[in-house]
Amino acid sequence: MLRVRDIVERLKIFKRNKIPIEIKTLAIATYIQTSSVRRTARILSEIHPVSKTSVWNWINKFEEKLSITTEEKERNLIAMDETIVKAGGKRYYVYSAVDVEKNELILMRVYTTRNYLATRSFVNEVLKYCRGKVKFLIDPPMLISALKSLNLKFEHQIFGQRSLVESVFSSLKQRVRIFFCSITTKDPVRNWNFFCRLFVLYYNKLRWCLC
């Protein structure tokens, strides 16, 4: 497992200035764990005066320099599902795909609508990270038409192996309750996808460590 400190040092994300790099690194690690800029700033202020704006700027700089992508691999079973998040009184739909055998979050995307085109677009993105003949485990019937149109194998499953994606969403929703409060209505889809990119990093590489 990687540590945030390892990533920051390897990519040389920050230069030393009035605020030590160690504080900035801790800010990123704390944010990834809590999903709250306000809470991160409050915690770090016990050590060094830190503003919410500074924390947000550091997180954005971290995200800009870090390529949070999934590797193309041989995959057999992929659990796929979607859930609803809200910002500014509007609904947005989060699609997720998890490699069941590797317990790896392959992709997470936010869409403004939940329909055939959005589902097909998401599945095509997922397939970019797959080699071999993949079988999808799904629950919502609305996903079926998109999978059929792409001639993909699938199984409608409520429990069993597909429950892994539910555990991902459970962790996601815990963070969403905190994060949605800081979502701006100026560009909510970009903000949600920013959050999802960091969540993929957290789930696959950082959930067992802090800094």
Residue 77's φ and ψ, nearest 5 degrees, are: -120, 125
CB 80 within 8 A of CB 126: yes
Among 21-25, 72-76, 145-149, 157-161, which is the least confidently predicted range? 157-161
**pLDDT band per the 50, 70, 90 thresholds, residue 192:** confident
| pLDDT on residue 128 | 93
pLDDT(78) > 80 = yes
Average pLDDT in the chain: 80
| pLDDT on residue 28 | 86
Query: DSSP assignment, residue 15?
Result: -
**Is 3.20.20.100 the CATH classification of the domain at 73-203?**
no
The residues, any chain, with a CB within 8 Å of residue 67's CB and separated by 6 or more, are none
Global pTM? 0.73
| Residue extents of the structural domains in the chain | 4-65, 73-203
